[in-house]
Structure 1
Amino acid sequence: MKKATVYDIARVAGVSASTVSRILTGSAKVAEEKRIAVENAVKELDYRPNLMAQSLKTGQSMTLGVLTQYLDSPFSNEMLRGVEKALEGTGYVPIVVSGHWNPQQELDRLRLLIARRVDGILILTGHVSQQNLIELSQQVPIVAAGHNINTERVRSYNVNSRLGGYMATRYLLDLGHTQIAHIVGLADQKDAIERLHGYRQALTSAGIAFDPALVVQGDFCEVGGRDAIKQLVASGRPFSAVFCANDQTGYGALLGLRENGLSVPEDVSLIGFDDLPFSTFSNPPLTTVKQPIYETGVKLAKTLLGLIEGSEESDSIELQDELPELTIVARQSTRPFVE
């Protein structure tokens, strides 16, 4: 079957081809009866616009580049759900690439997206430098999570991980735990470092000396959490609670504790960070610090669209002021300390 054209729509709707073009692109107001006639003709003829031709004409590709770190990350996927929600009905389509926490790979992927003529870029956390962000933003507007930079062409949002680390540890302290271990995230990741600082700050505020033997390196993944528990148990250092740098680490820690004959929360209380969807269904359900992952995805995408279109949305510099605060979600993986 021959593909319908703008001229076919014009013939069926009884209007000029230029009127059809204006209605399809939204470039000018037209009479309501003409708009309805064109919309009906589009449905009748099953018209599909030539996106390449439109891109050449308008200078916009109607695509947004999205840099994540791993395509199978439940954290990134939750934020991508927010991005997808924000783009509904806008005509924009995301192109997703991954950087694997490698600064050079991230930079290469961002340059690839720009070469693909995306209209803007979303960065869902990463290591690419602020200087590179500023330079790249001269070509396309950028909105990034996990960064602290705001210019005319770059907006960013960074969760207060230090506060979150403090809240998680304070929660365990308030339950009466004093021997609290911490499984750290990636060694060179800012969020992991800040959560460790929050952990130490909470201990200090409670008058408890920091014990390096209770801090074990993880990697923000399940395997890292499981291995860290094995290391903690093998050290012989007693602990009654564990603060995991994120929920994925917590899932691995749950398994590691079980494999070592320890029950949660009867023997060890466990708290994570993120409040990923699966945390409600882990066994037992995981207590965690909830951060607004989905909401951040929505806000980042809307802010980027604002930068592209020059709307009021682009004036929102302090994105965190408009997002929910960190909160503790108490579930069955924690309980008061019992001698």
Structure 2
Amino acid sequence: MDVARLAGVSPSTVSRILNGTAKVSDDKRLAVLAAIDKVSFAPNQMAQGLKKGRSLTIGIVVQDISSPFFDETLRGIDDGLKGTGYASVIVSGHWNAEEEADRVRLLLARKVDGIILLSGRISDEAVLGFSSQRPIVSTGRALHTRTALGFKTDNEYGAWLAVRHLVELGHRRIAFISGPTNNHDADERLAGYRRALAESQIDIDPALVVEGNYHEASGMMAMNRLFDTHQQFTAVFAANDLSAYGARLALYRKGIRVPDDISLVGFDDLPGSSYTTPPLTTVRQPMYDMGRIATQALLRLINGDTVQGEIPPVELVVRETTRRVR
């Protein structure tokens, strides 16, 4: 072994120094460190992982690999893994509880050291059951056990911020393009919409609430349904930015100007939202931070450490798609 030869010690001494288990003189320790620097030596992380019974791999269950929302979270996860020796395996659950559970079982069979579950429809009980085999960190749910942890965005508050902004601009007829049914995030954003209107003593008109599915096409179709039923409104709050993009296209095709004729607000603050025409007012979710913090938390759970962490709160980002009602 080059490091041992250059330092004048045995290979086992080098190994024990690297593992922090050797009781040696400062001269020997400095000699080993100098030799490592000279030969640009790096410990074989896979070998070290095998000695500890670990694969140095984490699994990630994402719902829609093509979604820019998950892109930002995955970027945070990737940065969180840098320098740790860990690699990731990414699978998709496609917003289907049975498929998500199958993907978790697949990752467990591949002996991953832990799993990050990005949103999804699998139950909390199922997550806790799987966490008895490997630590799990999940976004979009509130969990806190020795092997399972959740980080959750305050969706209701974010929606409340969006609608309050429109109310403060003088809007009273505010349409809402919701998310899909049986989706916790969508339910909470609908609750925030209703709470903001109720607190402002504005009657809630069910005809102004149209269901979408978080995709661009559903935003466009929801807007067209509002037009087809001859609803009167001066502002639109879309439950996510992709739906707002579709709504914006429908407004453009009707010759309706944003924000001169109708104000528009989204939710997420995707990277593209600052480059739409005009740039989109939206509620910013800390997607990148969520990925990075979830990764750090999972690595601590894998090591058996206690975990305490919080994600930054949502915030309203006012750009150019909203203005005071005329």
Q: What is residue 159 of structure 1 aligned with on the other side?
A: 153
Q: CA deviation at 1:291?
A: 1.8
Mapped partners of 2:38, 2:98: distance in 1 = 50
Q: What is residue 294 of structure 2 aligned with on the other side?
A: 300
Q: How many residues align?
A: 322
Q: Please say which of residues 22-31 and 238-247 is displaced more in the overlay.
A: 22-31
Does residue 38 in structure 1 map to residue 32 in structure 2?
Answer: no
Mapped partners of 2:154, 2:45: distance in 1 = 44
Q: CA deviation at 1:173?
A: 0.7
Mapped partners of 1:268, 1:20: distance in 2 = 69
Alignment of structure 1 residues 120-139 onto 2, 5 Å: 120-139=114-133
Alignment of structure 1 residues 176-195 onto 2, 5 Å: 176-195=170-189
The structure-2 alpha-carbon separation of the partners of 1:26 and 1:118, relative to structure 1 and needing over 3 Å to count, comes to: farther
Mapped partners of 1:73, 1:235: distance in 2 = 31
The structure-2 alpha-carbon separation of the partners of 1:133 and 1:266, relative to structure 1 and needing over 3 Å to count, comes to: same
* 49, 72, 75: which one aligns with 2:69: 75
Paired residues of 2:69 and 2:270 also in contact (CA < 8 A): yes
The structure-2 alpha-carbon separation of the partners of 1:50 and 1:309, relative to structure 1 and needing over 3 Å to count, comes to: closer
Paired residues of 2:142 and 2:152 also in contact (CA < 8 A): yes
Paired residues of 2:139 and 2:151 also in contact (CA < 8 A): yes
Q: CA deviation at 1:209?
A: 1.3
Deviations 1:175-218 (A, max 9, x none): 10111000011212100011011111111111111111111111
Q: CA deviation at 1:54?
A: 4.1
Q: What is residue 315 of structure 1 aligned with on the other side?
A: 307
Q: CA deviation at 1:98?
A: 1.0
Q: Tell me the TM-score normalised to structure 1 length.
A: 0.89
Paired residues of 1:12 and 1:41 also in contact (CA < 8 A): no
SS of match in other structure, 1:262? coil
Paired residues of 1:99 and 1:109 also in contact (CA < 8 A): yes
The structure-2 alpha-carbon separation of the partners of 1:205 and 1:50, relative to structure 1 and needing over 3 Å to count, comes to: closer
* 207, 210, 223: which one aligns with 1:213: 207
Q: CA deviation at 1:281?
A: 0.6
Q: What is residue 334 of structure 1 aligned with on the other side?
A: 322
Which amino acid in 1 is paired with 2:324? P
Paired residues of 1:23 and 1:35 also in contact (CA < 8 A): no
Structure 2 unaligned regions, length at least 5:
none
Paired residues of 1:20 and 1:38 also in contact (CA < 8 A): no
The structure-2 alpha-carbon separation of the partners of 1:165 and 1:28, relative to structure 1 and needing over 3 Å to count, comes to: farther
Which amino acid in 1 is paired with 2:121? H
Q: CA deviation at 1:35?
A: 2.3
RMSD value, Cα: 1.9
Does residue 253 in structure 1 map to residue 284 in structure 2?
Answer: no
Mapped partners of 2:122, 2:186: distance in 1 = 17
The structure-2 alpha-carbon separation of the partners of 1:247 and 1:22, relative to structure 1 and needing over 3 Å to count, comes to: farther
Paired residues of 1:66 and 1:121 also in contact (CA < 8 A): yes
Deviations 1:103-148 (A, max 9, x none): 0110111111111111111111111111111111111111111112
Q: CA deviation at 1:58?
A: 2.0
Q: What is residue 84 of structure 1 aligned with on the other side?
A: 78
SS of match in other structure, 1:315? coil
The structure-2 alpha-carbon separation of the partners of 1:225 and 1:9, relative to structure 1 and needing over 3 Å to count, comes to: same
Identity level (%) = 46
Which amino acid in 2 is paired with 1:76? F
Q: CA deviation at 1:83?
A: 1.4
Q: What is residue 174 of structure 1 aligned with on the other side?
A: 168
Q: CA deviation at 1:26?
A: 5.9
Which amino acid in 1 is paired with 2:323? R
* 141, 166, 191: which one aligns with 1:197: 191
Q: CA deviation at 1:265?
A: 0.6
Does residue 106 in structure 1 map to residue 116 in structure 2?
Answer: no
Mapped partners of 1:10, 1:154: distance in 2 = 42
Q: Tell me the TM-score normalised to structure 2 length.
A: 0.92
Mapped partners of 1:184, 1:25: distance in 2 = 54
